[in-house]
Each structure stands twice: as structure tokens, then as C-alpha cells.
């Protein structure tokens, strides 16, 4: 009789196990990166994801998508942006209905066809992109009403697609950006067939009407066959901006297209040789971008019809000089971009600019050597002057004469060796000065005197730079790059009172005098690169940077030196810490991560890159209660200690491994099930990680396949099964009255509780519930009618316990797994009602497994009670026990219905629960 019982039980258990692994799978996103870029703006440096739109942060980026439905089940519903790359031939109806808050959708799915209902439910969507990056072009079919669900669609983009199978697509009214790049348009007429409502049915009544911004931008760049504009192809269309870069279209043909309004035209790389002034005059263009063309000469005659221009770019045209009356014929011109031409070596700007409105002038990369006296004196309104990448070596105050409104001056990457005192004296409004990549060897604050409001300063030199006071008083941001040595002379008054951003890239740094202390009372962002960790030396008297009361962001990439002395003190507000290129295993004393991190209570983002960290254990993270994002990059032979399992319920929400390889060891075997089933954590990069058996193992074994092949894959569950069986055995023994065991368990539990307290992990004091009750549907009637009323009955008749019942207390639509974990966490005790049927239910098993898990992870502060409703004969089963180590005799309740005194049972149960409550509370 016993054997049949076992043989029915076992298949049930196996079935439960299979069901479980299926359910767990749903919590991971195997080929997706799920991230929140508001935590770490620079996240894309470490893990690849598609570009987002400003203001969108929570996104999923999925690769190699083949089965769309399967991929999407793993993606959380609240994402704002979704990028899919792979091959999916058809996007079915309601493909994205699960993501009502989606604002951006980027599809790189090769040849696709779309149905009318594909985008159903996406009424919040603002950006829709179809992209294909291989050589032109893939075909894409879009039914006429495909875009109808969109009410707020702002930009629609097709790149690398031919739409010539589609017709009559209705564009949403809200659209403002339409992009068809790298396509196979041959004539503009095709646009009308594709999008009949692009151009209005009846042309709007003639001009003066303020133009309605139906389309802000139409970008038709890189349609290599687009060379025809049939007459009235764009009849009545009003555009702000049109881009025809790299197309063979003759811009003159736009004149007959019927285009009603255009402000800005871009014709980059179209091979034109003359200013297209007829078009400019026709539309009264305000902006014209003619970059990468062959306009080597601007003839004066050309210009007369260009009078409306406010912005003109002649970037990279091989221009050698400008006609003498150039700017005066363009009275509206505010921004002139002449970068990457051949205007050097002596700058000769045309005369007669006195009345000019010019605000921005870009003369970068023009081989300029000499800026003659008063070169810019005729540009009194100039706000920005860009002179980067020239050959300027000698600057006198005369060269910049007359620029009294100039705010931004970029002189980076010139051959400046010397700055005369007073060279900035004619620039009283200057706020931003860039001197990166110069040949300066010393600079004194005296050379920067003149502008009162200088707030952004960049200094750099290939070798070394000595910097002397006084510092400009109002600095907000300071950036210094030297190849070798930076030497600061500091006077005692506090020079950096307002500084918020500091970037320092150097190999050595000297302070003069050595014993000075520099204060940065307002610093928020600190970036250090290439420098040795000794900068944070705390034990010596020479402290460079002692206190950062407001520092929120520290990015420190060192020079591969040991970090023995690195201490991060005095940064109570630090939120983001990026550490890179250090040697944590240093020759003398290896550094402990926990020591480094212990005084950073506010840390939310921790990025560790190339530090030679060999092992991570729970102690490293103990003090980081607020951590939300953990990123490991370029680490080698990492061991993930089994103690980390304990952290699982509190692990940061985002855990990323990029270019990390592990050591092949079964200590980490918990990682597999965790990465796949992490209920509250998005894990990225473990599937791709490899592991190494030893230093010379180049076999590139994938970590997860090593773990599943060599280690027990579900150790806890197996542990549970075996323990469960032994629990039953023990129950039998207890019933037989074996007196030998209980005191031993008592002692163990006591010891563990004591140990945990010693380690400073006290129990949480706030509990929502007294008891989380786990039971299966078949036992529900008994639980609801008998058990619950008894336990919930208010005093004095009962204990008035607060119970949590999944069926009753979980919110509608709440993720059951999450709710379960959370409820167990916030209950003093978990009571599992067990019967043969419960053992057959995957949910009951899962609940019991979680409870067991909590028990093992936090011995002494977790309470698990087992209530058996039926006799289950365990004697045929073998195995060892884990549960018995933690449970005491009084934790088992054996209650075949009607078998013992109900009242006595209740008294015992209440007493036990009360005791559990007291224990968790102290």
C-alpha cells in the first residue's frame, strides 16, 4: 500500500517541478536589456542599446528576436521605450497591447509586414522607427490604417526600407517628423501615393495665414535614386525643414513642386557648386546647410537673393576666401559656419560688417595662423567664436578687440604657447573658454583676468601644465587634461567656492604647497582619469581633496595601480560611483570592496570596471541598502560567493555583467536559477558570460552551461524535496515520542539567531501581517471555514492575528510571484497547510520553496510552520534533510481532520505564532 502512494506522489512532484521551471522562465528577459537610463546616463558605454528619445528612461532593448510573443512575455509592462532587433516576418494584431505606456518603438526586424491591428492599444506612442542597416533596401508592407491607433505620434521614421508595396497610408494628425532615409524613392510624387493626407486636399488659402506646423521636418536623405520632382508633387505642403542630403535631386526643381512653405533646407553632400539662391529667394529660407559640397567661390551676384538667410553653413567646401561684401548682403545672418575650409593662414574677414547681426561664427579647421589686429572688430554682436583646430600660436589682446558680447571662445587644438596678460581684457562677457590641446606649459590666473563671469574653463596640454592663482572667482566647471603632469599652486583662500563640475585627466599631480587643503564645498560631479588612487590618500598630512559635502557623482578611472590606500570618505551624498582601471589585488595588501564602500550610505549606482576583483560576497554589499544598479565590466575570473544568495530578495533592481568572465566553480551554482528567475532584479549579460577552470583555460565554456552540467541546477528545490521528506520522517519520529532531537535543534537555532545578530542583520521591525498562509485550492474550504476564523477572531476569544491569504489579499492583476515574496517578507511567520493535493500544486510548492529559502537564508529570524492535514507515508523515501536543521518540534502540526482536539490544537498554534512574533520583533 505504501509503494503505490509514493509512486503517485513522485510524478506529481516531478510535474510540479516542470511547471515551476516554466513559470520561473517568465521573469527573465533572456535576449533583452532592461534598464533605467536615468540612473546612469552613460550606461550605453557599457552595454549596447538603441538610442532613446530625451525624457525616456525605462526601456527594453531586445536582440535576435525570432519569436516575438515569447520575447515580449519577458518584458515588463511599464517600459517607455522598446527596441527590437531580429527577424520577424509578420507583426500580428495587438502585438504590443501589453505595453500601454510605450512612447518609443524602434523595430529592426528585416523584412516585415504589418497588419491593421498591429499597433492597437499604443495610443501613447510618440516615436515609431523602422530601421534596417544592411545595404538598401528591405521591403515593408504597411496597410492603410496601420497608423490609425496613434493619437500622439510625433515622429515616424523609415530607414533602409522600400515602401513601394504600400499605398494610401493615413498619417496621424499629430505627426511632426517624417523620415524616409536610405530608401528607394525615385520621385517626390511617390510620397503623395504613399501618404495621401500628407498634402492637404484643397490647398490652403493664399499666404499671409500663419503657417500651421503640420510637418516640422521631412528628411529624405540618402535616397540615392531620388532625382525627380514632378510638378505639384508636394502641392500645398507646409514644412519647417526639409533634408535632401546625399540625394541627386536638383534643388531648383523644388520651385515647381507646389511646396508652400519652407524655412530650412539641407543639401549636404549633393555636389552643388553654386549657392542655390533661386530656391532660397523663392521660399525666403532662413537656414541653408550646404556642407560637403564644392562651393569654392561665393560670387557676389549669387547673394542678392539670399537676403533672408539667418543661418548658413558652408562647412567643408574648400572655400579659400569670402567676397568682400559677403555679410553686408546678408543682413539677417546670425550664424555662419565656415569650418573645415581653406581660409588660412591669415584671417581676412570681409569689411563692412559693422551692421552685421552675426552671433555665431565657426572658423574651426581652416589652417589659420594669424589673427590680425582687430580681426573681428566689425562683429560687435558676436556671442560664439569657434577657432578650434587651427595653427594659431600667438594671440594678443588686439586680435580679439571689439568682441564685447562674446560669451563662448573655443581655441582648442591650436599651437598656443603663450598667453599675454590682458589678452582677454576686451572680452568682458566671456563665460566659457576652451584651451584644451594647446601647447601651454604654465598658466596663471592673471592671464585669465578680464571677464568677470568666466564660469566654464577647459585647459589642456600634451605634456605638463603648471597652474598658478588667482582662480577666476565664479568657476562652475573646470576641466584639465594633461599628458603627464599637472601642478597646482594654491593660495590659501578658498578658490573653488562655486565649482560644481571638475574633470581631471593627468598622470601625476603636484600641489604647492604640499600640506594645503583644498575645499570644494559645491562640487557635485568629479571625474578623474589616469591618476593614481593616492589622490584620496587619507593618512598623510597632504590631502588634496578632503571633503565633498555635496558630491553626487564620482567617476574615477585610475592608472592600474594598487588601491591599498583608497578610501572614499566625506562624500555623504554620493549617488553614483564608477571605478575603473585599478588593481584591487595589489601586490602588498588586497583591497576589500566593503571597506571602500562602507561610508557611502546614499549610493544608488555602482559601476566596477577592470579592477581585478576576484570575488564578490555578501559583505561587500551589506552597507548599500539603497543600491539600485550594479554593473560589473571587464572583470576576469570572478567568483560569486554563495553567500550572495542571501541578498537575493534585496539585490539591486538592475544587475549587469558586461565582458565579465567567471571562474568555473559550483559555489556559484545559485547564479543560474537566480539569473533566470530573479523576481525583482533585471539581470543582463550572464547568458553571454564564460567561465574559466584555471588561468590557462581558454575553452570558453559558457558559465550557465558549466553550472547546469557540473553542478546541481536547482539545489534549493532539490534540497527542499529531500528536506520535506525528512520533515515528514521527523514528524513521525516526533509523534513516536523521540525525545532526543529537540534540544539539539533548539541549540542550533539559538546559535544561528545569535550569529545573525552578531553580524548586524537584525530582523525588520515592521510587519504587515502576522501569518502568511499557504494552501492549495483543494484545501481552501477548510482553511477559510475552519482555520481563518479561529486565528483572526479578535481578543479575548482569539488572538486577532492578521493573516495574509493569496486568494484574498493579493491585488487583482498583481504579479503573484512578486506579491508572494513581498508578503512573506512582511509576515512574521509562514504557515504551510500541507496535504497530498498541496504537494501536487505548483503554487503551493513554490510558496513552500520560498519559505524554506527564507528560512535557510535568514536562520533564526524566519519562522516556518508546517501543518499536515493528512498522513503521508514517507518511509519509502531516501535523502538528507535541510529543513530539519532549522525546524523545531513545535513547528510541526499534524492534524488529520477530526483526529486531535481542535481547541488544543488552536491553543498550541496561537502560542507558537505569538512566540514567533516576539522573536522577530526583538
Ligand X SMILES: *[C@@H]1O[C@H](CO)[C@@H](O)[C@H](O)[C@H]1NC(C)=O
Q: Using CB under 6 A, list all residues that contact ligand X.
A: 42, 45, 162, 164-165, 184, 252, 278, 291, 305, 313, 315, 337, 339, 344-345, 360, 362, 367, 369, 373, 386, 391, 394, 396, 513, 515
Nearer to ligand X by Cβ, of 241 and 821: the residue is: 241
Ramachandran angles phi, psi of 35, nearest 5°? -150, 165
Nearer to ligand X by Cβ, of 27 and 386: the residue is: 386
Nearer to ligand X by Cβ, of 366 and 884: the residue is: 366
Q: How far is the CB of 214 from ligand X (least distance, A)?
A: 27
Q: How far is the CB of 394 from ligand X (least distance, A)?
A: 4
Q: Measuring CA to CA, how many Å separate 831 from each of 433, 815, 913, 916?
A: 68, 21, 9, 11
Rg of the chain on CA atoms, in Å: 36
Q: How far is the CB of 56 from ligand X (least distance, A)?
A: 17
Q: Are 357 and 332 in contact (CB under 8 A)?
A: yes
Q: How far is the CB of 351 from ligand X (least distance, A)?
A: 18
How many other C-beta atoms lie within 10 A of the C-beta of residue 106? 21
Q: How far is the CB of 259 from ligand X (least distance, A)?
A: 15
Nearer to ligand X by Cβ, of 513 and 742: the residue is: 513
Cell triple for 464: 605638463
Segments of 507-586 assigned E as strands:
508-512, 525-529, 553-557, 576-580
Nearer to ligand X by Cβ, of 544 and 717: the residue is: 544
Nearer to ligand X by Cβ, of 394 and 444: the residue is: 394
User: Any residues with CB less than 8 A from the CB of 752 and at least 6 apart, and which?
Assistant: 859, 860, 886
Nearer to ligand X by Cβ, of 490 and 647: the residue is: 490
CA proximity to 665, closest of 633, 635, 697: 697
Q: Are 460 and 482 in contact (CB under 8 A)?
A: yes
Segments of 445-585 assigned E as strands:
456-461, 464-468, 477-482, 485-489, 501-505, 508-512, 525-529, 553-557, 576-580
CA proximity to 887, closest of 721, 736, 738, 752: 752
Cell triple for 689: 558570460
Q: How far is the CB of 162 from ligand X (least distance, A)?
A: 5
Nearer to ligand X by Cβ, of 373 and 751: the residue is: 373
Nearer to ligand X by Cβ, of 619 and 634: the residue is: 634
CA 676 from chain center: how many Å? 21
Q: How far is the CB of 347 from ligand X (least distance, A)?
A: 11
Task: Identify the burial level of 845 via C-beta atoms within 10 angstroms of its C-beta, where 0-12 means exposed, 13-18 middle and 19 or more buried.
Answer: buried
CA proximity to 652, closest of 17, 40, 4, 67: 40
Q: How far is the CB of 141 from ligand X (least distance, A)?
A: 10
* Torsion sign over Cα 164, 165, 169, 174: negative
Ramachandran angles phi, psi of 10, nearest 5°? -60, -50
Nearer to ligand X by Cβ, of 290 and 909: the residue is: 290
Q: How far is the CB of 264 from ligand X (least distance, A)?
A: 14
Q: How far is the CB of 511 from ligand X (least distance, A)?
A: 11
Nearer to ligand X by Cβ, of 280 and 701: the residue is: 280
CA 58 from chain center: how many Å? 8
> What is the chain's percent helix, strand, coil content, to nearest 5?
25, 25, 50
Round to whole Å and give the CA distance between 545 and 536: 7
- Which residues are registered as beta bridge partners of 893? 867
Cell triple for 180: 524616409
| Parallel/antiparallel/unpaired status of strands 215-219 and 112-114 | unpaired
User: Any residues with CB less than 8 A from the CB of 349 and at least 6 apart, and which?
Assistant: 322, 375, 376, 378, 379
User: Any residues with CB less than 8 A from the CB of 79 and at least 6 apart, and which?
Assistant: 34, 58, 59, 60, 99, 101, 102
Q: How far is the CB of 29 from ligand X (least distance, A)?
A: 25
User: Any residues with CB less than 8 A from the CB of 8 and at least 6 apart, and which?
Assistant: none
Round to whole Å and give the CA distance between 835 and 841: 10
Q: Using DSSP, state whether 69 is helix, strand or coil.
A: helix
Q: How far is the CB of 15 from ligand X (least distance, A)?
A: 50
Nearer to ligand X by Cβ, of 154 and 390: the residue is: 390
Q: How far is the CB of 555 from ligand X (least distance, A)?
A: 6
Nearer to ligand X by Cβ, of 339 and 731: the residue is: 339
Nearer to ligand X by Cβ, of 339 and 774: the residue is: 339
Nearer to ligand X by Cβ, of 54 and 795: the residue is: 54
Q: Are 762 and 820 in contact (CB under 8 A)?
A: no
Nearer to ligand X by Cβ, of 291 and 672: the residue is: 291
Q: How far is the CB of 255 from ligand X (least distance, A)?
A: 7
Nearer to ligand X by Cβ, of 148 and 284: the residue is: 284
Diameter of the chain measured on Cα atoms: 112
Q: How far is the CB of 174 from ligand X (least distance, A)?
A: 29
* Torsion sign over Cα 64, 69, 71, 72: positive
Q: How far is the CB of 498 from ligand X (least distance, A)?
A: 22
Q: How far is the CB of 344 from ligand X (least distance, A)?
A: 5
Cell triple for 653: 533592481
User: Any residues with CB less than 8 A from the CB of 126 and at least 6 apart, and which?
Assistant: 53, 103, 104, 152, 153, 154, 155
Amino acid at each position: 500500500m505504501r509503494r503505490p502512494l509514493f509512486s503517485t506522489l513522485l510524478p506529481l512532484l516531478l510535474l510540479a517541478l516542470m511547471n515551476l521551471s516554466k513559470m520561473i522562465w517568465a521573469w527573465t528577459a533572456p535576449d533583452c536589456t532592461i534598464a533605467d537610463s536615468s540612473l546612469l546616463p552613460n550606461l550605453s558605454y557599457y552595454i549596447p542599446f538603441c538610442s532613446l528619445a530625451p525624457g525616456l528612461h525605462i526601456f527594453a532593448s531586445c536582440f535576435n528576436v525570432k519569436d516575438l510573443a515569447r520575447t515580449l512575455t519577458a518584458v515588463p509592462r511599464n517600459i517607455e521605450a522598446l527596441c527590437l532587433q531580429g527577424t520577424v516576418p509578420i507583426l500580428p494584431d495587438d502585438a504590443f497591447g501589453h505595453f500601454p505606456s510605450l512612447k518609443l518603438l524602434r523595430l529592426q526586424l528585416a523584412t516585415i509586414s504589418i497588419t491593421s491591428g498591429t499597433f492597437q492599444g499604443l495610443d501613447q506612442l510618440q516615436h515609431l522607427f523602422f530601421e534596417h542597416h544592411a545595404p538598401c533596401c528591405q521591403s515593408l508592407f504597411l496597410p492603410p490604417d496601420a497608423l490609425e491607433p496613434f493619437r500622439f505620434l510625433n515622429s515616424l521614421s523609415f530607414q533602409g526600407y522600400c515602401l513601394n508595396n504600400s499605398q494610401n497610408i493615413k498619417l496621424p494628425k499629430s505627426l511632426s517628423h517624417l523620415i524616409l532615409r536610405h530608401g528607394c524613392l525615385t520621385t517626390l510624387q511617390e510620397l503623395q501615393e504613399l501618404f495621401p493626407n500628407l498634402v492637404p486636399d484643397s490647398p490652403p488659402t493664399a499666404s499671409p495665414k500663419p503657417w500651421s506646423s503640420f510637418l516640422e521636418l521631412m528628411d529624405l536623405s540618402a535616397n540615392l535614386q531620388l532625382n525627380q520632382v514632378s510638378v505639384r508633387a508636394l502641392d500645398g505642403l507646409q514644412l519647417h525643414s526639409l533634408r535632401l542630403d546625399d540625394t541627386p535631386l536638383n534643388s531648383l526643381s523644388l520651385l515647381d513642386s507646389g511646396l508652400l512653405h519652407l524655412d530650412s533646407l539641407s543639401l549636404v553632400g549633393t555636389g552643388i557648386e553654386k549657392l542655390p539662391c533661386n530656391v532660397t529667394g523663392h521660399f525666403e529660407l532662413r537656414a541653408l546647410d550646404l556642407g560637403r559640397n564644392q562651393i569654392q567661390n561665393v560670387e557676389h551676384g549669387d547673394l542678392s537673393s539670399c537676403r533672408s538667410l539667418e543661418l548658413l553653413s558652408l562647412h567643408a567646401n574648400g572655400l579659400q576666401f569670402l567676397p568682400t561684401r559677403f555679410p553686408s548682403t546678408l543682413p539677417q545672418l546670425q550664424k555662419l559656419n565656415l569650418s573645415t575650409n581653406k581660409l588660412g593662414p591669415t584671417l581676412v574677414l570681409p569689411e563692412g560688417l559693422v551692421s552685421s547681426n552675426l552671433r555665431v561664427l565657426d572658423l574651426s579647421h581652416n589652417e589659420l595662423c594669424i589673427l590680425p589686429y582687430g580681426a573681428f572688430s566689425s562683429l560687435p554682436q558676436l556671442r560664439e567664436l569657434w577657432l578650434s583646430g587651427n595653427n594659431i600660436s600667438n594671440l594678443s589682446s588686439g586680435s580679439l578687440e571689439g568682441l564685447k558680447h562674446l560669451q563662448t571662445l573655443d581655441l582648442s587644438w591650436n599651437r598656443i604657447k603663450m598667453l599675454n596678460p590682458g589678452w582677454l581684457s576686451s572680452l568682458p562677457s566671456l563665460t566659457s573658454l576652451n584651451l584644451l590641446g594647446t601647447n601651454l606649459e604654465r598658466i596663471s590666473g592673471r592671464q585669465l583676468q578680464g571677464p568677470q563671469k568666466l564660469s566654464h574653463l577647459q585647459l589642456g596640454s600634451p605634456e605638463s601644465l603648471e597652474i598658478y592663482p588667482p582662480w577666476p572667482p565664479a568657476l562652475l566647471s573646470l576641466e584639465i587634461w594633461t599628458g603627464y603632469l599637472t601642478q597646482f599652486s594654491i593660495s590659501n583662500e578658498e578658490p573653488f567656492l562655486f565649482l560644481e563640475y571638475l574633470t581631471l585627466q593627468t598622470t601625476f599631480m603636484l600641489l604647492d604647497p604640499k600640506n594645503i587643503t583644498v575645499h570644494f564645498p559645491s562640487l557635485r560631479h568629479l571625474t578623474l582619469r589616469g591618476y593614481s588612487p593616492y589622490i584620496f590618500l587619507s593618512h598623510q598630512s597632504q590631502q588634496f581633496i578632503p571633503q565633498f559635502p555635496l558630491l553626487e557623482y564620482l567617476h574615477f578611472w585610475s592608472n592600474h595601480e594598487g588601491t591599498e590606500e583608497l578610501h572614499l570618505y566625506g562624500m555623504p551624498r554620493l549617488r553614483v560611483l564608477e571605478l575603473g582601471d585599478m588593481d584591487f589585488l595589489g601586490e602588498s595588501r588586497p583591497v576589500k570592496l566593503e571597506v571602500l564602500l562602507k561610508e557611502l550610505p546614499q549610493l544608488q549606482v555602482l559601476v566596477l570596471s577592470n579592477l581585478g576583483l576576484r570575488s564578490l560576497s555578501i559583505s561587500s554589499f551589506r552597507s548599500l541598502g539603497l543600491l539600485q544598479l550594479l554593473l560589473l565590466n571587464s572583470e576576469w575570473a570572478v567568483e560569486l560567493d554563495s553567500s550572495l544568495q542571501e541578498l537575493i530578495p534585496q539585490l539591486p533592481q538592475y544587475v549587469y555583467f558586461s565582458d565579465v568572465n567567471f571562474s568555473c566553480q559550483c559555489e556559484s551554482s545559485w547564479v543560474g536559477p537566480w539569473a533566470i528567475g530573479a523576481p525583482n532584479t533585471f539581470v543582463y549579460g550572464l547568458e553571454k558570460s564564460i567561465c574559466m577552470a584555471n588561468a590557462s583555460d581558454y575553452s570558453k565554456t559558457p558559465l550557465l552551461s558549466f553550472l547546469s552540467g557540473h553542478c546541481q541546477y536547482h539545489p534549493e528545490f532539490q534540497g527542499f524535496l529531500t528536506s520535506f521528506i525528512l520533515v515528514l520522517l521527523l514528524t513521525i519520529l516526533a509523534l513516536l515520542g523521540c525525545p532526543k532531537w529537540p534540544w539539539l535543534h533548539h541549540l542550533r537555532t539559538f546559535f544561528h539567531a545569535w550569529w545573525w545578530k552578531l553580524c548586524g542583520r537584525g530582523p525588520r521591525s515592521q510587519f504587515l501581517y502576522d501569518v502568511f498562509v499557504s494552501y492549495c485550492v483543494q484545501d481552501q474550504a477548510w482553511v477559510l471555514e475552519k482555520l481563518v476564523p479561529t486565528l483572526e477572531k479578535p481578543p479575548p476569544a482569539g488572538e486577532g492575528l492578521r493573516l495574509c491569504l493569496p486568494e484574498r489579499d493579493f491585488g487583482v492583476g498583481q504579479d503573484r510571484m512578486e506579491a508572494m515574496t513581498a508578503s512573506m517578507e512582511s509576515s512574521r511567520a509562514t504557515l504551510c497547510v500541507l496535504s497530498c493535493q498541496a504537494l501536487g500544486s505548483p503554487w503551493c510548492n513554490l510558496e513552500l520553496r520560498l519559505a524554506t529559502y527564507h528560512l535557510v537564508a535568514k536562520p533564526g529570524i524566519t519562522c516556518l510552520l508546517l501543518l499536515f492535514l493528512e498522513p503521508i507515508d514517507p518511509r519509502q523515501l531516501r535523502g538528507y534533510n535541510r529543513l530539519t536543521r532549522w525546524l523545531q518540534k513545535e513547528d510541526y502540526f499534524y492534524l488529520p481532520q477530526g483526529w486531535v482536539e481542535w481547541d488544543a490544537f488552536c491553543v498550541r498554534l496561537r502560542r507558537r505564532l505569538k512566540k514567533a512574533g516576539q522573536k522577530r520583533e526583538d
